[in-house]
Amino acid sequence: MQYRTIPDTDLSVSVLGFGNFVFGTNWWGDFSDERGVALQNFAFDKGVTFFDSAAAYGNGRAESLLAQTIEYAGRENLVISTKFGYDFYSDPGDSGHRERKQDFSAKFVRYDLEQSLLRLKTDYLDLYQAHNLKLPQFQDELFELMDKLQKEGKVRYWGVALGPAIGWREEGYESFRGLDADVVQTVFNLYEQDPGREFCELAQRRGHGGVIARVPTNSGILDEEFKSPDHTFPPQDHRKFRDKNWLIYGLKKNEVIRPMAQAVNLSIRQFAFRWLLSFPTLVSIEPNILTEDDITEFCAAADAPDLDENTLEALDTLYANDFYMGQHAHPCDWKSSVTPTGTIRSEYHPIQSLEK
């Protein structure tokens, strides 16, 4: 395992993070409590120290499972993060694929924090992240509360987890530049490089804060989960909502990447993991972890050599040209808070152009 310190903090995290969102829904299968805790404990035994949960995952279930791993490993040996802002207490949700009620008022967030601490059986958090916060919800009282919670010793550092879909560039920029957040978490992978790449560059330029990558295997493409562009998704699988070109061209991109990965004795998803780690301010990566084999393979990737400059340059060229497969292979549109349609075309902007 390798570990990275979030720039300008004293918080060191394992580059492989365990996001236990898979225990909060049946999108990736049904896990018993015992099975979930066993996976978390196995990850700790392999060197994983960063565990990231959310109050909304399973309406508190995922945090309760993490509490058992905290007891197993010892609180002082772990970096614990959770997220806030979904009011599942009044809107528990259903089996459908929809957003639920959010509340980022200071009163609710303090209540939400106290409930998370009770479920986690700890009296402080190492990292506290605003869960899918949007620009209209950036209110002074929320960020004043973060400062108070830090002074009270209940929260060491805080950040913003962007979502649910890819995008929200403006939220990420404002979190780092305007609010001096310690972390921005976002969808970030070899086939969906921005705005995660921009956030990494912004953090590096500032000298403060780090980026956490979620969906690092492009929703299963880089896991080689799918064998055919005609794959049929079960009713509960959220990926059925993705653009069909994501699957068609993702499989084609894998065939381009495969020999590059084989040349350095890595699987495709290990290769994509190492690519993410080429960004110095990328501090941790949270893939879907469903089995002990997943943990073992990603741990091996975490300890593999860096990709060389020639390989990184070749990947940059491929991505900039949509892998020479045409416009249909371009990454899907992003979600946006500042456009009339609510979406924006995926593209890279040097941070200087967006800082003006």
Q: Give the residue, 239 or 48, on which the prediction is more confident.
A: 48
**Model pLDDT, residue 96:** 52
Is residue 347 situated within a structural domain? yes
- CATH (domain of 40): 3.20.20.100
Q: Give the residue, 176 or 29, on which the prediction is more confident.
A: 176
Is residue 4 situated within a structural domain? no
Is residue 334 situated within a structural domain? yes
Q: Quick one: pLDDT band at residue 232, thresholds 50, 70, 90?
A: confident
List of residues 6+ apart from 194 with CB closer than 8 A:
169, 331, 346, 347, 348, 349
Q: What is the mean pLDDT of the chain?
A: 94
Is residue 349 situated within a structural domain? yes
Is residue 87 situated within a structural domain? yes
**Separation CA 74–CA 221 (nearest Å):** 35
Mean pLDDT on 252-267: 98
pTM for this entry: 0.95
Nearest residue to 344 via CA among 330, 356, 326: 330
**Model pLDDT, residue 40:** 98
Give residue 115's identity as a one-letter amino acid code. Q
pLDDT over 80 (residue 97): no
Is residue 1 situated within a structural domain? no
Q: Quick one: pLDDT band at residue 99, thresholds 50, 70, 90?
A: confident
List of residues 6+ apart from 265 with CB closer than 8 A:
none
* Tens digit of each residue's pLDDT (9 = 90 or more) over 269-281: 999 999 999 999 9
**Model pLDDT, residue 9:** 97
Domain that holds residue 141: 11-355
Is residue 99 situated within a structural domain? yes
Per the structure, the count of domains in the chain is 1
Q: At 109, is the secondary structure helix, strand, or coil?
A: helix
**Model pLDDT, residue 95:** 53
**Model pLDDT, residue 98:** 62
Is residue 181 situated within a structural domain? yes
Q: How far is CA 260 from CA 68, 307, 321, 354, in A?
A: 40, 10, 17, 33
**Separation CA 264–CA 334 (nearest Å):** 32
Mean pLDDT on 199-215: 96
Q: At 116, is the secondary structure helix, strand, or coil?
A: helix
